[in-house]
Amino acid sequence: MQWAALVVFIILFALVTILGFLAARWRKGDLSQIEEWGLAGRRFGTVITWFLVGGDLYTAYTFIAVPALMYGAGAMGFYAVPYTIVVYPIFFIILPRFWSVAKKHGYVTAADFIEGRFDDKLLSLAIAITGIVATMPYIALQLTGMQAVIGAMGIGGDWPLIVAFVILALYTYTSGLRAPAMIAVVKDLMIYITVIVAIIVIPIKLGGFSHIFHAAQTALATHTPPGAFITSPQTASVYGTLAFGSALALFLYPHAMTGVFSASSRKVVKRNMALLPAYSFALGIIALLGFMALAAGINTKSTSSAVPLLFIKEFPGWFAGFGFAAIAIGALVPAAIMSIAASNLFTRNIYKSFFYKSASTQHEAKVAKLVSLLVKVGALIFIIGFPQQYAISMQQVGGILVLQTLPALIFGLYTRWFHRRALLIGWLAGIVYGIYMWSTTGYKSTTYVLNLFGHSVAAYAAIWALILNVIVTVVLTVAFNTAKMNNGKDSTLAADY
């Protein structure tokens, strides 16, 4: 039992949990309204939005999953760095349009936009279900990260997940989006302190980066299968498609949309797309912690434990506890936003659309609060039912699903040429094919080898599924438009964007 680390961890974690409950009184609003509970009244400025969206996107995935992949497989794990670099220029163009139309029409979710744009409840339902299901493995990744740091302090068993679930459930239910927004400020400051200390202290103790890289290269060669210190030309297609596919998927996740919709203006969204790459610098440093763990002689079958065990070995107990608290809080913030986003989708686009059309905004908020609890249970089930060698696989699985919403959400943001039924059938084709490819690996890998014209090409399954999705959508759109099938009524105007 690492008592010094545990005491510091508990103190910091308790303070942040209290902060989560106090957030209900911050920037007071009527939390019985879904727009106040789920979007904080759309009043966050540049600074708070930066912390919120950053805390939303840079999660246990950053501190646990990426270094774990570097520790186990080597350079392939570095794909996360270029993907977080290319994502912001892409969405600098897209997200301000999304914010404007959502603000104009009071859309709380991306599926709200689909229903307004295409006049189609079934397509809206498809987007909502995809968002909810894709979010669960992402929440599971956060809880896995929390389990790893608690386990490193000498506490075993599944009960840390239960504790995480209870804490998340209580302050999310009470404070809504205000809680993770307030906590995100503290979380980011703690993570930056941890990263700065780690990048200075650990290399000094291990003999410098030259020794770290040499030791990591030697250690990776002994892994089964061997890890690669430098990616080979044969893995270029996997590396590239993982980076590009993850970049396209990132802001399609409901929690990312929720963070954007909570901004106070279109300019705030643009500023954040320009400022958020600062996090990518920190991610590049954090990824190297996987190599540092190899150089430090950390030996563990659970790759998710590599960074926590490195901290225990190289830091004094009290600072290891500080770092663990930063990681755990970095897991709670996005998990809270994710559960809020998923519950908003269920309430607005499933419950109200199909079961209780006359639901008031107060009734919507009550349902959303309850569903936010159930989403966390789904995440726990995902951890138990689909154990992954690398925690990052949970994010990649979510990417396979959520990327299939791209044609409807992104293409639909710019044009009404695509037929709503073609978008729905294309979505279904992409989902089915994506899950099929994942299943052929025994649900253990998100990479799929496709034989094309006598050549075998390995790539991220989400990209193969998206290509099929787009082909089906375009072909059927031409057919349906030629047949003059009803394409619904667009409730938005060009000026709304």
How many C-beta atoms lie closer than 10 Å to residue 133's C-beta? 17
Q: Distance between CA 224 and CA 231 in Å, rounded?
A: 16
Do 139 and 395 meet the contact criterion of CB atoms below 8 Å apart?
no
* Encoded amino acid at 253, one letter: Y
Q: Examine the pLDDT at 262 and tell me if it is beyond 90.
A: yes
The token duo for 181 is: 């927004």
Q: What is the mean pLDDT of the chain?
A: 89
- pLDDT computed for residue 404 by the predictor: 97
Peptide bond into 225 cis (omega under 30): yes
Q: Distance between CA 40 and CA 486 in Å, rounded?
A: 38
* Encoded amino acid at 153, one letter: M
**Which residue is listed with tokens 């000026």?**
495
Rg of the chain on CA atoms, in Å = 22
Q: Which CATH number among 3.40.50.300, 1.20.1730.10, 3.30.43.10, 1.10.1740.10 corresponds to the domain 3-392? A: 1.20.1730.10
Q: Examine the pLDDT at 383 and tell me if it is beyond 90.
A: no
pLDDT band, very low/low/confident/very high, at 111 (cuts 50, 70, 90): very high
Do 64 and 326 meet the contact criterion of CB atoms below 8 Å apart?
no
Do 71 and 294 meet the contact criterion of CB atoms below 8 Å apart?
yes
Backbone angles phi, psi at 60, to 5 degrees: -60, -25
pLDDT tens-place string over residues 301-325: 888 889 999 999 999 999 999 999 9
pLDDT band, very low/low/confident/very high, at 447 (cuts 50, 70, 90): very high
- pLDDT computed for residue 211 by the predictor: 96
pLDDT band, very low/low/confident/very high, at 157 (cuts 50, 70, 90): low
How many C-beta atoms lie closer than 10 Å to residue 314's C-beta? 19
Q: What number is the average pLDDT over the span 400-426?
A: 96
Do 342 and 254 meet the contact criterion of CB atoms below 8 Å apart?
yes
Q: Distance between CA 304 and CA 71 in Å, rounded?
A: 9
- pLDDT computed for residue 253 by the predictor: 93
Q: Where are the domains of the chain?
A: 3-392
Report CA torsion sign: 414, 418, 419, 423: negative
Which is higher by pLDDT, 17 or 274? 274
Do 77 and 158 meet the contact criterion of CB atoms below 8 Å apart?
no
Q: Examine the pLDDT at 387 and tell me if it is beyond 80.
A: no
Share of the chain above pLDDT 90, in %: 55
Q: What number is the average pLDDT over the span 95-124?
A: 95
**Which residue is listed with tokens 């209870």?**
166
**Which residue is listed with tokens 């003999």?**
207
Q: Cα 120 from chain centroid?
A: 27
